[in-house]
Amino acid sequence: MSEPISPDFALAHSYGSIPFSQPLTAHASVLDCLAHQSRERGSAPFITALHGDQQTTTLTYGELDVASRRLAGFARSELGLGPGRVAALLPTNDLASVIAIFGLLRTGCALLLLNPRDPARRLCEQTAALGALAVCEPQRVEQSGPGPLDAATRRALGSSLCVLPDPWGLPEHSGAELESAGAAPIDRYAHALLFGTSGSTSASKLVAQSHYNAVVNAEGVGRHHGLAAGDRLLACLPIHHVNCLHLTIFGALAAGAHTFLAPAFDPFAYSRWVERFRPRLASVVPSLLEALLTTWRKPTLPANFEYFVSAAAPLSAHTAQGVLRQLGVRVLQGYGLTETVNFSTSLPRRLDDDVYRRLMLEAAIPSVGAPIYGNEVAVLLESGVRARLGQVGEICMRGHNLMMCYAGNAEATAEAFRGGWFHSQDLGFEVEDSGQSFFVVTGRSKNIAKVRGETVSLDEMDRVLRSIPQVEDAACAALPHRLLGDEIVAAVVFEGQAVDVLPQLRAAFAAAVLPRRIVSLRAIPRTATGKVLRPQLAQLLAQPSAAGPEET
């Protein structure tokens, strides 16, 4: 690391007595992992992507190595990408996007992963904040039909939008050629991946993860799940999410495993995918499990299927019970944030039946498990002292998988790492069972909602609503929803006649996370000092038939 680091940063990035400068992994980056796998098992399948109704295409480790080098050559020469530069990518769950991720990373640039379904304004804000040289769209050769970008978004992105060429039509570039052109070797601590996230403040933050962060997480999840060469994983979460990218792409890569990448969750096709691909484990979010419990009427899982990995939103004991009863398998709940490069904890995979029952099926809140390799987790009180077992405090992490910073936001970075811990702003406690320590997440001190596994800042939504001239006051609340996780309901106080506020919300948020209801109120419940009383607001909005609120 060339930049000076603060004592808080150094302590927060230590793992036991091992400083951040002393790597835990043999490989410096996922690109090194790819080079290794290409040498060791070049003809082995890495990703099988589903497209169309039943068609699949498989990319081997060797093919990804070649294709990503070709694309890197193009990106360097035609887009000017390289170390110190930023490129944005609009990936979808297909092979072209996987090749694009590796190809762009090979140039040494930092790669901003965008949600292609985000509104144009959000995409433009994120790319402008980082000064991205290009917004790249993979050429989806294996798919027909339109991509996820609408015409208005294409217009807004303008000349910065670049459709990447088919790598198989590009000239070959050897690793040595790229190196001589300045694209390698990669600095393991350089920013590799950038993700937008929702913080406790209104503004969305951009998390910068290094090459080393990614490879430590890949090593950690690989150890935790016992991933090995040839292991099969089923992935259907969006690839621009840390969950999909870090577990089912990078985690699989580090282990030499094979991932079946579905374009999106499909409750009717899921059973066919499982039957056809026969994965050992599958990555989901709780709402997908609920959907499967509803639609999978005669479930049969292959004998080698071991468990679902669930993260991104709280899993209920009811869902875990349903999965065991109907599908006959366990759910291993994991927990982490974009800032902790995906997984900080996960339930161990070889738990005794009694321990699983106590922690997952009979607990009021199922456990998120124990820390994975590379990071330490603690529950801290406001004073900074560690909480006693069972005592609720803030869940904090330190380790080699913690992000490098919030890009361009030194103040927020310093705040997040204060006292030598990353402060998650999630509340929870630690329990002991059969001599092992486990964590339970009880709630959030930050004002967010988890809709379909997507994190949404309610503060940001409030701010957008309050910026509308006809709106006197507004606040949003997250209400529990069986299938969505949370559903957002917006309460609005209008100045005079009610107006449609959806256009402004649509311009700022993806359609999937928009409020399900917009309720006109006479006043937002607030404290004497003006702070929104969120629990009271949620209670009020949970009763749509009550006399007070009216749906607009």
512 binds another protein (CB under 8 A): yes
Any contact of residue 505 with another protein (CB under 8 A)?
no
Q: Using the rule CB under 8 A, is 298 a contact of another protein?
A: yes
Do the Cβ atoms of 328 and 305 come closer than 8 Å? Answer: no
Torsion of CA 32, 108, 253, 197, to 10 degrees: 140
266 contacts another protein (rule: CB under 8 A): yes
- C-beta of 296 vs 307, nearer to another protein: 296
- Measure the CA–CA gap between 99 and 85, rounded to whole angstroms: 19
Rounded-to-integer distance, Cα 426 and Cα 377, Å: 12
Nearest in space to 196 (alpha carbons), one of 101, 125, 99: 125
Query: Cβ distance 280 to 232 under 8 Å?
Result: yes
Pick 297 or 531: Cβ nearer another protein = 297
514 binding another protein? (CB under 8 A): yes
Minimal distance in Å, beta carbon 335 to another protein?
A: 22
The binder of another protein chosen from 290, 426, 460, 462 (CB under 8 A): 290
Binding mask 484-503 for another protein (x = CB under 8 A): x-----------------x-
From the CB of 400, what's the least distance to another protein, in Å? 36
30-41 and 61-79 helices, crossing angle to 10°: 140
Q: Kindly state the DSSP code that residue 139 receives in the 8-state scheme.
A: -
Q: Which is nearer to another protein, 65 or 118 (CB)?
A: 118
CB 76 to another protein: min, Å? 39
Report the nearest approach of another protein to the CB of residue 27 (Å).
37
Closest to another protein by CB, 264 vs 523, is 264
To another protein, the closest distance from the beta carbon of 291 in angstroms equals: 4
Crossing angle of helices 95-106 and 30-41, in 10° steps, is 120
482 binds another protein (CB under 8 A): yes
Taking a C-beta distance cutoff of 8 angstroms, is the pair 441, 430 a contact?
A: no
What is the nearest approach in angstroms of another protein to the Cβ of residue 452?
6
Is 295 one of the binding residues for another protein (CB under 8 A)? yes
d(CA 170, CA 80): 16
CA distances from 418 to 4, 65, 202, 375, 384 (A): 16, 40, 20, 17, 10
Phi/psi for 41 (5° steps) reads -145, 55
Among the listed residues 264, 381, 389, 507, the single contact to another protein using CB under 8 A: 264
Tell me if 267 contacts another protein by CB under 8 A.
yes
Does 294 bind another protein (CB under 8 A)? Our answer is: yes
Asked whether 403 and 207 are in contact (CB, 8 A), the reply is yes
**Should residue 436 be labelled a site residue for another protein when binding is judged by CB under 8 A?**
no
Contact indicator for 251, 217 with CB cutoff of 8 Å: yes
- Asked if 310 is part of the footprint of another protein (rule: CB under 8 A), the reply reads no
Count the residues of the shown chain that bind another protein, applying the rule CB under 8 A.
21
Q: Which stretch binds another protein (CB under 8 A): 152-160, 372-380, 434-442, 479-487?
A: 479-487
Q: Name which of 28 and 315 has its Cβ closer to another protein.
A: 315
338: how many CB neighbours lie within 10 A of its CB?
23
The binding site for another protein (CB under 8 A) comprises 264-268, 287, 290-291, 294-298, 452, 482-484, 502, 511-512, 514
